[in-house]
Structures are given as structure tokens and as C-alpha cells.
Structure 1
Amino acid sequence: MEPNCVQFLQDKTILVTGVPGFLAKVFVEKILRIQPKVKKLFLLLRAADNESAMQRYDVGLRINTFGPLNVLNFAKKCVKGQLLLHVSTAYICGEQSGLLQEKTFNMGETLNGHGKLVIETEMEIMKQKMKELHKQDCPEEEIAQTMKDLGMSRAKLHGWPNTYVFTKSMGEMLLGNQRENLPVVIIRPTMITSTFSEPFPGWIEGLRTIDSVIVAYGKGRLKCFLADPNSVLDLIPVDMVANAMVNAAARHAGKLGSQTVYHVGSSCKNPITFEQVHNLAARYFTKKPLIGRDGSPIIVSKGTILSTMAQFSFYMTLRYKLPLQMLRLIGIIYPWWDGNKYKDIDRKIKLAMRLVELYRPYVLFKGIFDDSNTELLRLERKEVNKEMNDVFQFDPKTIDWEDYITTIHIPGLITYVLRK
């Protein structure tokens, strides 16, 4: 009989990377709260990021791709190493549709099937481009944009929508290829949100995933957004992800040669659509509006959801871009014209375009994340943990989305992020 999670953690030595990240904090807090007799926790602290924006592709490769390999090599040297648990992201699937399986990547696999992905080549391309830009003595802003564009172009060349999921995918490939006999568990959470219940409901750190849209809407800055109203937003509270991690570690520790992927999300068992989230946010901020700088309540409208880029571009042109061009033309004709007249419009355009570019792969997403492995883990651990099931809850079917969004998540955003 396998030990329950509390028993499993007793006298264990655990190395936790990614501290002081949001998920890592919740994971460490959970361990210390439920098992004070854990032997040792080694926390690998992330140093202050002194890297300039120009090296974001350089940094993505080193952290998301080669970082897991470095940890794996360290783990293989540990005398009694039992398990490597790696947190990735469900969205390494790119923009695929349908039911997405919990399967591993093969080394060199691409999402579009065009050619073979060679990780060392990607690193060399990045290094050569950086060397070339420095040799040309380019300004930092130009280097930053060039490296950002390079990362996006390399990602899209192989079928991924952005640099982040591209580099995370390569990290998984390296783990699978180099793991040898060490048991490896890959946790792929979807969009991580505030705590469902532990250590208390609604705690969150910084704006995460869809939260930028919710806050911008609540502040009255977002009148229109690109999204398919029927697209499923796969949200999952952070404490459920941490609970799944503990359960998976207890399940696979010491099982030599195994490699298992777990999707931790809600789209398969308890889906919620973008339109539902939008309606809940509209209802919340209508009843409990945020307060503007002038001390008056911010009135929100229902807003406009456009389901294609063509519709969104047309809307932005009619509502903002044409008026902005006219205001700028007035400024050219009349030098005395106050340029501040069009700054607010320009700011709204930039905010909307930035959010659209960031969320486009997700708000138009047509995939559902299969969680068969995770469901099996839930069922197995339910029997083992018995009376402690509530302590390790990670079943998305227990989430009442209306209650969670309106009484836990949005209030948590206001309290812990907006500080109001």
C-alpha cells in the first residue's frame, strides 16, 4: 500500500526551483503546513533579473529550455534521487484544436511537421544574431526588438505561437531524451488563477493570464476585445495545481524509468467559456464598481467581443485610428494644438493591441485538454488519502465558476493586486 501524501513527505529532502514564483510559494507553503517533519527544503532562489530586454530570447532558452536539463543533470547525480517533477504548461500544444492528449514530445518534433527541430541550432542562431547586433553597435531598443522578433519567427517556423511555449517545449524534449532511469513527472497546468481555498481563498500575486483583461475592463479601459465567446478558458486555481504536484510526486517517486504527463486544468471536466467569464465580470463591476482617481465609481459597459482579427482591426480603425489620425493632422496644421488631446486615444489603442497580441492564441483557442492521467491520479490518491481528500483537492468539478469568479477571484485581484 502506497503512503498517503502526508506520510510520503515525512523525512523527504526536496529541491524546489522557481522560487519565489507564485506557484512555487503555494507549493512550499503547502508542504510546510501539512508536513512539518519534512527533512529539508532547498529553495533555488531566482536572482534579480539584470538581463536587459534585448536578451529575452537568450534568457528564454537558458531558463525554459536548458534550465530543466541542468536540474535533471543535478538530480541524476544525487545518491538517492527518487523523482524529478517538472512544471511546464499545457499550451505547449500551440494552437491545435480538438482533444489534446497527455503525451510527451519526441526530440526534434515540431508542431507543424516541417523539418526537424535541432535545439543546439536554435541556440547557435540566437548567439550569432546577438554577436552580429553588438558588432554593429545597434541601440539597445533596436536589439531588444530584433531579438523579440527572432524568437517569434523561430517559434512560428516550427509551429508554436510564441517564444515562451516554444522554449518550454524544447525543455520538455531535453528532459525526455536525457532522463535515463530517473522517474520524470511533467505537470502541465493551464491558466493558473488565485487560490480556491488554501491557504485562504482568493490569494494571488500579480496579474496572471486573463486577469489583465478583467482589470482593464473593470477600470473602464477595455471597450472591445478579440475573443471567440464560445472558446473555453481553461482556468485552474493555483492551490489545485500544487495539490496535484504533491500527489503526483507521491505516486511516482522511485518508479525507475517512468515518464508521465499530467494536464491540470478544467476544460475537460468543468469548462467555462470566455463569454461566461465576461458576463460574470460585467455583473461584478456593475454591482461593485472600482473607484476612479477622481473618487467616483467607474461605470462599465457590457463591451464588444469580436471573434476574428478582421473584425477587430475594422473596429479599431473606425473607433480609434481614424479619429487619432485626424487629431494628429490638426496638430500638424496648427502648431499650437495641444498634443495631449490624442494621447489618451493612443494609449487605449496600444493597450488593446498589446492585450490582443498576448491573448490571441488563448481566447481563440479550440482545444480541450484531456486529463485522463490526472483523473486516474485523483481516483488512486482518493483511496490512499481517504479522510484527507479535502486537504489535497484538485478536482475541477468541485468549482462553482460563478461563485469562484465573483466571490473569490475578482475580490482577490482587487485586494492583493490592486491593493484596494
Structure 2
Amino acid sequence: MQTDILNFYRDKTVFVTGGTGFLGKVIIEKLLRSTDVKRIYFLVRPKKDDNVEGRFKAWKSELVFETLLKVKRDALDLVTPIPGDCSAPGLGLSDEDRRILTTEVQVVIHSAASIRFVEPLHKALNINTRATRLMIQLAKEMQCLKAFVHISTAFSNCPSNHIQERFYPEHLTCPANKVLEFNETLKPELMDKFAPALMGKFPNTYTYTKALAEQVIQMEAKDLPICVFRPAIILANFKEPMSGWIDNLHGVVALMYGNTLGILRLLYVNPKSEALVVPGDYCANVALASGWKVAESSSHLAVRNPPPIYTFSPEKSNPITFGKAIKMGIEINHKIPVTKTIWYPFAHFTTWAWLFKLGCIFYHLLPGFIFDLLLRLQGKKPILIKSYHKIHEALVLLFPFNNKTFLMDTNNTKNMWQSMSPEDRKIFPFDMASLNWVEYFDRILTGMRLYLFKESWDTMEQAKRRLFRLYLLHRSLQLVLCYVLGKFIWYIYNLINNQYYTNLEITLEPSVTKSLAI
């Protein structure tokens, strides 16, 4: 079968950054399985304990490529790692590798980023903003470039509640080129001290540096066939290449993992706000379709318009709230539990900071202290209290995004979907209007059980028995707590009642004495 998108990627050489991350791996796998690309280069950062060759060897053994290798046994031979580092000057590329990229590459997909909300500003700038400028400079040297897809985030302009598919320079307190200039000349410690003043209304360095990167594109990439792809919160794959596949514990995924484990019970979340979550495989399809679309648009435009922006989030006609999503996840988890669960999974919500801090003591820290004490008595290493500090920090960092509903305009993305042929829609699906949320969350929890908890299906009966025992313990504890609370209330009631009658007797005593004297 030949379609517009398949024709575009046939015999193309693609350069991918962030190929060792979750979305990068899904994009590369999809390219190899569904298209006839000529070659894929992807940037690999050497680590202290592992070189590029070692990381590439481990990368090829990832489960995400299992389906691909059954269909195309030698598919990974088309992938070539390029040593480099997005946080380094010149992307850490050698002269020879730079020559290869500038002479051979036709499509660039830039997905590398630091997604840590608490990344020091100077580091986030190097990885998320300066690297984007360096990628643009590299792209300008590419002799055969047809398309450049920059992967941003739907929350890159989160100071606004209604986010349109346009650039927002008005959110920045200082132009991107000035901020990068400061970062080059000032010491890292001093740069990080300036972070609050520079960030303004941005809640973290991730969204701020992503917004700066978009301005770099707006100002410096006008002569390139480039687009910006803004995905919302990326969760597990829906269908491809393996249903529910996920390989990381970041953000919302980590919170779902903690709830499934039975350790996360109090959520600092507004249950009525809409959850802007999207499947990983759908995001890969949008990224690849965006590359095709920007190449098609650029081929017949004499004057470059501002780079198009494609926002990808749930459709207004098919929303889901955090409350409904979490309830759905818990119900599914009760049907397919894991043997590692340490308490019966449930969740309560609050949007009050003081109540969250108070509740964490009783929901998390006290049970965690008891659990860690039992571990110490068994000669094991305590784990929960340390984990709770990280969990609470993550909940506070995520609160600006799950306390309210952001209105995301997705007109460009919907128009791109409408412009695709029926065949391309089947090969590269990403229609959020028709997504079945129950089916998707069922696959998320199933994938989490298989790929994060690493539990096989033959442990299901054992897990269900364990969950039933935990349910009995949970209900028993609730009864005990209700009894203790009832006794306490009764004690307070008697105390107040006795005090009332004592005061009444004192008040009446002189009158009674006087009447008796008469």
C-alpha cells in the first residue's frame, strides 16, 4: 500500500534526538515498522559508566522493538547511533558526524529534552533551549532538508488558561536570545538565582525553557520547513506496537504506579479538572504526520509563513476528568491487581494545601513509618518515608496542571487529520474524538502490570488473593478508626455535657440556698 505519508518517508534519511527516551523509541519503532525509510540516525549521549556502543546495544534489546523484529528481522540495521550531547556546545558532534548529517538527512525530529520540573535553570536552558538553537543551526546546513519537527509541550504557554496554536512571546519577561546570552556569560549559580525573576508566571524551569525554545524557532527558523508539535501529558501506548507499553516512571505515570502499589492514597488534585492525557503511540503518529504536512506545505509556498503549531490533547467532545480517570484506574486495578501491592488501593482528593500537608501525615507518613519499622526489624532497608518525600514533591509540582482545566485549541491538528487519506488514518491513527477511555485505561493498567511491575499473568490468582486479604485489613482498620473516633466524640460530648451541668449547678446554688432560708 502506498499513501501520502508512506510516500514521503520512503527512502528518506531521518535524524532523531531523544531516541533513547520513551517517545523517541516509539517514533523510531513506528518509522521502521510502517515506512520504508532509508536510514535513521539518532543522537546518543555517552555516560560515565557506559559508552555509545554499550547504550546502543541495550537500546536494541528494548521490548518496544519485539513486534518490529518479528515482521522485519533486520530493521534495526537501518539505525545508526551518533555520539553527541544536547547539553554540550555544538551538540557534542564530531566534524565527521556533522558532515554526515548535513549531507544525508532529509527529516529532523527533535524530541530530546529534560522533563524534570526542578532542573536547575542553567541546565534546563542548555538542554531545552540552547540545543534547539543548535539544532536549527545544524538544519540550516542540511543540503536536503524537507521537514523539521520540534517536539515541545502543550503546557509551554501555561500562564494562559486558553492556549491557541500560536506563539506567545508576551509570556516571557526577557527575550530568548538575551536569556541564552546571560546563560553563556554568568556563572551557573548566579543564573539559577535569577530563575524566579526570569520565569515570571511559569511554574517550573521545564515549561519556561520550552517556551523559550519556541521563541527561538519563531525568530530564527523562518527560512526552514519547520513545525512545532505540542503534545499534552503522554501516557502508555494505546495499541502499537504493544498495547499498554510504557517504560518510565515520570509525572502522572509515577502517581498511577504509586496508587496501584497501594502507597499513594491522598492526591493533591482537583477531581473536576480535565485530564489532558494522550497515548504515546498517537503522539508518535502526530509527529510523523506533522513532518509530512510541513514538507507538503513548504513545497508550494514561495514565502514562509510562521511555523505551524500542532497541539495534541483530548478533544472537547470526548473529555475525561482527573476524578473519573483515577476512579477508572482504581476499578481496573482491582480487577487485575499486582502481587507487590502493600495496601488496598484507594484515593481521596483535596485542593487545599494545608489539608494536603495535614492529610499526608495520616495517609502516608504514619503508615510509612510503621512499614519502614517492620522492614528494619526484618533487617531490610526502609523505603517508604524516603519515597513519600519524592511523591509529595511530585504532587505539589504537578498541581498547577491538574488544579484547573486548560482549554487547548487543536484546529491545526484536526485539519491535518482531515487532510489525511483514509489509508493514512488507519496506519497513523490519532483521532482523540473516538478514543474509548475505558478501553485505553484498561490497557494502561495492563501495560503497567506487565512492563513496570514486570508481573506475568500466571500470578493473577495470587494477586487477587492478596488484594482480598488487604481489602479485609482495610475495612477492619476503617472500623477500628470509626470506633476510636466515635469513642473520642462521645468522650468530648460527655466532657462538655458534664461541664455544662456543673456550671449550671454553680449558677443555681445561691438561689436554691436563699429559697431554703426563706
| TM-score range normalised by the length of the shorter chain | 0.7 to 0.9
Structure 1 unmatched ranges of 5 or more = 133-146, 326-337
Equivalent residue for 1:167?
209
Q: Aligned ranges for residues 12-411 of structure 1 at < 5 Å?
A: 12-36=12-36, 38-48=37-47, 56-97=120-161, 99-106=162-169, 109-110=170-171, 115-121=173-179, 124=182, 128-130=186-188, 150=193, 153-154=196-197, 157-253=199-295, 254-255=298-299, 257-258=304-305, 259-292=307-340, 298-316=342-360, 346-347=385-386, 349-381=388-420, 385-406=421-442, 408-411=443-446
Report SS of the residue matched to 1:90: coil
CA contact (8 A) 1:19 1:25 kept: yes
CA contact (8 A) 2:176 2:212 kept: no
Q: Distance in 1 between matches of 2:395 and 2:194?
A: 19
Report SS of the residue matched to 2:354: helix
CA contact (8 A) 1:20 1:46 kept: no
Report SS of the residue matched to 1:266: coil
Report SS of the residue matched to 2:251: coil
Q: Given residue 100 of structure 1, which amino acid in structure 2 is its aligned partner? A: I
- By how many angstroms is 1:375 displaced? 0.4
CA contact (8 A) 1:89 1:188 kept: yes
- Cα 1:316–1:85 change in 2 (3 A) is same
Q: Given residue 179 of structure 1, which amino acid in structure 2 is its aligned partner? A: A
Q: Distance in 2 between matches of 1:192 and 1:180?
A: 28
Report SS of the residue matched to 2:155: helix
Report SS of the residue matched to 2:18: strand
Report SS of the residue matched to 2:167: coil
Q: Distance in 1 between matches of 2:350 and 2:145?
A: 51
Aligned pair count reads 375
Whichever structure has more helix as a proportion of its residues is 2
Structure with bigger gyration radius = 2
Q: Distance in 2 between matches of 1:85 and 1:221?
A: 39
CA contact (8 A) 1:234 1:265 kept: yes
- By how many angstroms is 1:32 displaced? 1.4
Q: Distance in 1 between matches of 2:430 and 2:445?
A: 21
Q: Distance in 2 between matches of 1:233 and 1:151?
A: 32
Structure 2 unmatched ranges of 5 or more = 50-86, 88-115, 370-376, 456-518
- Cα 1:348–1:83 change in 2 (3 A) is closer
- By how many angstroms is 1:366 displaced? 2.3
Q: CA RMSD in A?
A: 3.2
CA contact (8 A) 1:95 1:361 kept: no
CA contact (8 A) 1:193 1:208 kept: no
Equivalent residue for 2:489?
none
Q: Distance in 2 between matches of 1:396 and 1:39?
A: 31
CA contact (8 A) 1:217 1:300 kept: no
Q: Taking CA–CA contacts closer than 8 Å with sequence separation of 6 or more, which of the two structures ends up with the larger relative contact order?
A: 1
Match of 2:449 among 393, 414, 419: 414
CA contact (8 A) 2:261 2:342 kept: yes
Q: Given residue 266 of structure 2, which amino acid in structure 1 is its aligned partner? A: C
- By how many angstroms is 1:315 displaced? 2.5
- Cα 1:283–1:80 change in 2 (3 A) is same
CA contact (8 A) 1:233 1:272 kept: yes
Q: Distance in 1 between matches of 2:411 and 2:174?
A: 29
Equivalent residue for 2:109?
none
Q: Given residue 375 of structure 1, which amino acid in structure 2 is its aligned partner? A: K
Q: Distance in 2 between matches of 1:350 and 1:153?
A: 23
Q: Distance in 2 between matches of 1:161 and 1:58?
A: 16
Give the alignment's TM-score, normalised by structure 1: 0.80
- Cα 1:401–1:25 change in 2 (3 A) is same
- Cα 1:76–1:41 change in 2 (3 A) is same
- Cα 1:309–1:122 change in 2 (3 A) is farther
Equivalent residue for 1:142?
none
Q: Given residue 39 of structure 1, which amino acid in structure 2 is its aligned partner? A: K
- Cα 1:12–1:117 change in 2 (3 A) is same
- Cα 1:307–1:178 change in 2 (3 A) is same
- By how many angstroms is 1:17 displaced? 1.2
The percentage of counterpart residues that share the same residue type is 24
- By how many angstroms is 1:119 displaced? 4.2
Q: Distance in 1 between matches of 2:429 and 2:119?
A: 40
- By how many angstroms is 1:129 displaced? 4.2
CA contact (8 A) 2:236 2:246 kept: yes
Deviations 1:129-181 (A, max 9, x none): 4367xxxxxxxxxxxxxx8x7475246x4211101111111111111101131
Give the alignment's TM-score, normalised by structure 2: 0.66
